[in-house]
Amino acid sequence: MKYRSLGKSELRVSEASLGTMTFGDEWGWGSPKSEAQKIYETYRDAGGNFIDTANFYTGGTSEQFVGEFFKGHRDTVVLATKCSSTAPAMIASACSSVKCCGAFPASVMTAVSDLSF
């Protein structure tokens, strides 16, 4: 796996990121937890460390899975989350806040809650 600096920071992220929109099958498609975990572990075994999620992917299940999967090695994972105007209504209202600025703090909190580092 090759790595690059994220923007002008010294944070090194893998060139290939793992998108987790299909982690969970609540929308009638996607990967159940066991399959999502295999995908996650294969990505990590290949050296990947840059994971994309959002708190509205599969109704929050995707983010919950990611939080469980990185337990014990959270300090080696770069987690990208977002908020957009195309999010479900309950999230979209929060995204209109100036404080949101492209990241949804509650999303990150969901992924890391109840985890020990």
pLDDT recorded at residue 100: 45
Task: Quote the percentage of the chain above a pLDDT of 90.
Answer: 46
Q: Tell me the average pLDDT across 51-78.
A: 89
- Residue 57 is a catalytic residue: yes
Domains and CATH numbers, the chain: 3-112 (3.20.20.100)
pLDDT recorded at residue 13: 94
Q: Is pLDDT of 79 > 70?
A: yes
3-state secondary structure of 108: helix
3-state secondary structure 38-52: HHHHHHHHCCCCEEE
- Place 89 in a pLDDT band, splitting at 50, 70 and 90: low
Q: Is the dihedral of CA 101, 104, 106, 112 positive or negative?
A: negative
pLDDT recorded at residue 40: 97
Among residues 3, 40, 43, 57, the one annotated as catalytic is 57
